[in-house]
Amino acid sequence: MYEDIKPHLVELRRRIFISVMALIVSFIVSFIMYKPILYWVTKPLENALVAAKKVVHKDSLGQWKLGQKDKNGTIKFKESNVSVAQIAINKANSVINSKNATKTEIDLANSIKALATAMIEQQKKEEANSFWGSITTRQVGGVFMVALKVSLYASLFLALPIILWQMWLFIEPALYDNEKRLAFPFLIGVTVMFIVGVLFAYYVVAPFGFQFLITFGAFLYTPIINIEDYISFFAKIMLGFGIAFELPMIVYFLALIGVVTDKTLKDYFRYAIVIIFIIAAILTPPDVITQMLMAAPLILLYGASILVAKAINPYKEEDE
């Protein structure tokens, strides 16, 4: 019996060895390139911090109001988060518009106004290119551990096609020709849909979700993001959406073996909505916005899965 399975064990060991080597090589390359990878990972967070800073700055500028003149004719300012430069501009304007101001006072006020205006413009340029809050680490070797973690996640992502290809080469000899024609597109589809899910999470969910979450409390607290927690948070979102987008491929496989039909999916649509929201709650961080951003495309994918099942295994009414 051992002699019968020995060739298969040798082949399995070979495929595992190639997969492990692909993972190691991918990890080494990822660790060498960890800086651009880490920049790519933190880019949505930095954009969200920049957007939050603009919102807070705009709100603070809109809070100052010019008061009424007192008995002596002096204009009082109601200061509320007003920059010194903005106060200087308004006081300079009051001097410039005053009928009793001398030429020297007006020239001095124009100079102060020009300087304060230049300071505000420079501040706006700096705000456009910088983010509000900070990204920190709580450990001495925090950045090193983050580099290792990011490299590991990147290596899994890079080595995934090779690992799936080795799995295919191992099971291919045991399949019939018709099974090969069905199994190979399934493996390709699994890989493509996982990548689509990750890209959707990065370019759609992360920018909107991060900006909402950070801006929501930006008027009360300054965000200080721990990089170790953020990496885990980011990886959970990417992995969750990658897995969630496999729904059409799961339905494709179940339809191939005759388990589900398009009518089955239609009949259980209401129950599927509840299950989708439960899955979204499990696979995403505990906030309603991210859960909704996962549940919405999952519902659309469920509708696409009905079309897949109809094409692969359509429902047929049984004759009486």
**Together in a domain, 76 and 209:** no
**Together in a domain, 181 and 264:** yes
**Together in a domain, 210 and 295:** yes
Domain boundary pick from 128, 151, 182 = 128
DSSP state letter for 108: H
Residue 315: left if φ>0, alpha if ψ -120 to 50, beta else—which one? beta
**Together in a domain, 178 and 228:** yes
Q: Note whether residue 318 is domain-resident.
A: no
**Together in a domain, 8 and 80:** no
- Identify which has the larger pLDDT, 28 or 248: 28
Can you tell me the distance from the alpha carbon of 269 to that of 265, in angstroms, rounded to the nearest whole number? 6
Domain boundary pick from 97, 128, 159 = 128
**Together in a domain, 283 and 213:** yes
In the predicted model, is pLDDT for residue 183 greater than 70?
Answer: yes
Q: Note whether residue 122 is domain-resident.
A: yes
**Together in a domain, 101 and 147:** no
**Range in 2-6, 180-184, 221-225 with the lowest mean pLDDT:** 2-6
**Together in a domain, 79 and 172:** no
Q: Note whether residue 215 is domain-resident.
A: yes
**Range in 51-55, 64-68, 122-126, 275-279 with the lowest mean pLDDT:** 64-68
pLDDT digits (tens, 9 = 90+) for 14-34: 889 999 999 999 999 999 998
Q: Note whether residue 58 is domain-resident.
A: no
Residue type, 303: G
- The structure tokens 């994918």 sit at 301
**Together in a domain, 114 and 16:** no
Please name the residue ranges forming H helices in 97-225: 103-128, 142-171, 177-200, 206-216
**2 token code pair:** 């051992």
**Residue 194 to residues 63, 119, 150, 292, Cα–Cα distance (Å):** 47, 49, 18, 19
**Range in 46-55, 131-140, 240-249, 259-268 with the lowest mean pLDDT:** 131-140
In the predicted model, is pLDDT for residue 63 greater than 80?
Answer: no
Q: What is the rounded (10 degree) CA torsion for 74, 76, 82, 88? A: 0
Q: Tell me, what's the pLDDT at 23?
A: 92
Q: Which domain holds residue 100?
A: 63-128
**Together in a domain, 170 and 276:** yes
Q: Note whether residue 53 is domain-resident.
A: no
Annotate 231-273 with DSSP letters as a single string.
Answer: HHHHHHHHHHHHHHTTHHHHHHHHHHTTS--HHHHHHTHHHHH
Residue-averaged pLDDT of the chain: 78
Q: Tell me, what's the pLDDT at 64?
A: 41
Nearest to 164 by CA among 198, 196, 192, 191: 191
Annotate 66-92 with DSSP letters as a single string.
Answer: EEEE-TTSPEEEE-SS--HHHHHHHHH
**Together in a domain, 214 and 90:** no
Residue 258: left if φ>0, alpha if ψ -120 to 50, beta else—which one? left
Q: How many domains does the chain have?
A: 2
In the predicted model, is pLDDT for residue 72 greater than 60?
Answer: no
pLDDT digits (tens, 9 = 90+) for 262-310: 888 888 888 888 888 887 777 666 667 777 877 888 888 888 888 888 8
Q: Note whether residue 317 is domain-resident.
A: no
Domain boundary pick from 88, 106, 128 = 128
Can you tell me the distance from the alpha carbon of 96 to that of 88, in angstroms, rounded to the nearest whole number? 12
Task: Give the residue-averaged pLDDT of 97-108.
Answer: 79
This prediction's pTM: 0.68
**Range in 1-5, 38-42, 46-50 with the lowest mean pLDDT:** 1-5
In the predicted model, is pLDDT for residue 81 greater than 70?
Answer: no
Q: Note whether residue 55 is domain-resident.
A: no
**Together in a domain, 75 and 146:** no
**Range in 28-37, 153-162, 163-172 with the lowest mean pLDDT:** 163-172
Q: Note whether residue 217 is domain-resident.
A: yes
